[in-house]
Each structure stands twice: as C-alpha cells, then as structure tokens.
Amino acid sequence: MKLTLKIWRQKNANAQGTFESHQVEADEHMSFLEMLDVLNEDLVSQKKEPVSFEHDCREGICGTCNLVIDGRPHGPNQGTTTCQLHMRHFKNGDTITIEPWRANAFPIIKDLVVDRTAFDRIIQSGGYVAVNTGQAQDGNAIPIEKDQSGEAFDAATCIGCGACVAACPNASAMLFVSAKVSHLDLLPQGKVESAKRVQQMVNQMDAEGFGNCTNTGACEADCPKEIQLTNIARLNRLYTSSMFSTSKKY
C-alpha cells in the first residue's frame, strides 16, 4: 500500500517545528513502527536525517512508543499501543498525520520524541511503599481479597506512556497519578502511607505544570491499558479527605 505521511519534524527543543510530507510503500502485515523503519531506511539511503521516534519493547508493555496518529495517541485502535498497531487498519492511499505528544510538561526533544521525566518525578515524590529490602514479613501474612487485589492490579498495569496527558485537551496527568495512587491504596501494604502519598503526588503533579482535569474522559478512551476514570474519582476522594483530616499536611 502507498501512504502519505505528514510528520512533525523539529530539530531540537528550541527549534521551530514543521510538518514534512513523505511517501512510503508499506505492507499490511507491518506494524506502524516497522512502516516508519522503512521510511527511515529510505531516508538514510538518501543520506537524509531519519525521523526520530521512541520505541523499545515493541510488544506493548514498556510504554516507550508515543505517537499521535491522526489526532489520537497510539492511533485509532482501542487498548493498543503504537507498536501493536498494524498497517492493515489503514487503506492504500491514506494520508496519515503523525505528531508528538503535546503538553507543556512534556517538552519536545526532537521530532516525535518528548521528555516524560515529569512522570518519574511524580513517582519519586511518593509513588511507592516505604519498605527497605529485607524488612518484609512472609508474603502470605496478610490475605488480600482476590477482587480487591485484581482492582489494584488493573490500576498497576499503567505503562507510564503518557497517552492520557497527550489525549487530554488540558494535558492533565490525573489518570497517571490516580492509577498509582489507586494501585497502592487498594493494597493493605500501601494503605499505610496513603494520605501522605496522595498529597505529595498531587503537589508534584501540580508543580510539573500539567493541566486540570475537566472530566472529558479522553484519557480513558485512549489509554492503551484501558485504565478507568474511577481511579481519578478515587484520587479526588483520597486527596480531599486527606486534606480535611487531622493527619499531617505535606
């Protein structure tokens, strides 16, 4: 199939970016990223600079790949990362627009590559259980109800790709933050520090310059791991109650 790609090119963080058009010959069995590999091989063979885009595991779990394809983070398929999207979902002659994640908290590094370390800093601010190696009791000491554990797992499947921020018209990071807060709050091991954690993580989220949630639901719709809005409600609840409780403020 013949495709026209309209790709965002930007030399570096400070440079002015622009769209560039390329033709590429793709096979329907290719993954989206393999199609870009073909383009890049072609560019290199012409001694031109290839398009920078990020990717690593190419099996939908590392969270590295991040392309906005025709206005949607990770493309049109539900619950699918960019690397798992295949060309059979496109038609011969299509024009595909490829853009980087757009959010001020994710500055562009080059072309389609953005800096997502804001997420790391949010986790560093409190997204963990404060337990040192070797301090743990036996793994079976605290039974955890199966469904409760399953709900924690659902939240914990977040791959930190940032599609929620990219999809959100406000560039809000609430889905990401709420997934971690929920994962740990739903387990007895994480419950202990819940109030402290939620305050510190929200403080950091706000400091990073993400926008405010207006409940559009765009994040949930484009999350490749289908993390749910109920987590954001839980975050709101936990944050509000922790701020109005007598516990220490951070």
* Site track for another protein across 227-246, x = CB under 8 A: --xx-xxxxxxxxx--xx--
Total residues interacting with another protein, rule: CB under 8 A: 128
Q: Using the rule CB under 8 A, is 202 a contact of another protein?
A: yes
Helices then strands, each counted (H, E), the chain: 9, 7
Q: Using the rule CB under 8 A, is 18 a contact of another protein?
A: no
* Site track for another protein across 135-174, x = CB under 8 A: xxxxxx--xxxx--xx-xx--xx-xx------xxxxxx-x
Q: Using the rule CB under 8 A, is 196 a contact of another protein?
A: no
Residue the block writes with tokens 């404060």: 130
Q: With contact defined as beta carbons under 8 Å apart, do 56 and 64 qualify?
A: yes
Q: Which of 164, 218, 224, 227 binds another protein (CB under 8 A)?
A: 218
Q: How far is the CB of 99 from another protein (least distance, A)?
A: 6
Q: Using the rule CB under 8 A, is 10 a contact of another protein?
A: no
Q: Which of 3, 5, 67, 68 binds another protein (CB under 8 A)?
A: 68
Q: Using the rule CB under 8 A, is 131 a contact of another protein?
A: yes
Q: Which of 32, 90, 176, 210 binds another protein (CB under 8 A)?
A: 210
Q: Which of 74, 183, 194, 224 binds another protein (CB under 8 A)?
A: 183
If the CB atoms of residues 23 and 124 are measured against another protein, the closer one turns out to be 124
Contacts of 86 (CB under 8 A, 6+ apart): 28, 29, 30, 31, 32
Q: How far is the CB of 213 from another protein (least distance, A)?
A: 6
Contacts of 141 (CB under 8 A, 6+ apart): none
Q: Is 113 exposed, middle or buried (0-12, 13-18, 19+ CB in 10 A)?
A: middle
Q: What is the DSSP string of 154-204?
A: HHHT-----HHHHH-TT---HHHHHHHHHHHHTSHHHHTTHHHHHHHHHHH
| Footprint on residues 25-44 left by another protein (CB under 8 A) | 27-31, 33-34, 37-38, 40-41, 44
Q: Whole-angstrom Cα distance, residue 193 to residue 181?
A: 10
DSSP state letter for 31: B
Q: Which of 64, 67, 91, 163 binds another protein (CB under 8 A)?
A: 64
| Footprint on residues 69-128 left by another protein (CB under 8 A) | 70-72, 80, 84, 86, 88, 97, 99, 102-105, 109-110, 113, 115-117, 119-120, 123-128
Q: Using the rule CB under 8 A, is 9 a contact of another protein?
A: no
Contacts of 159 (CB under 8 A, 6+ apart): 60, 61, 62, 63, 81, 224, 225
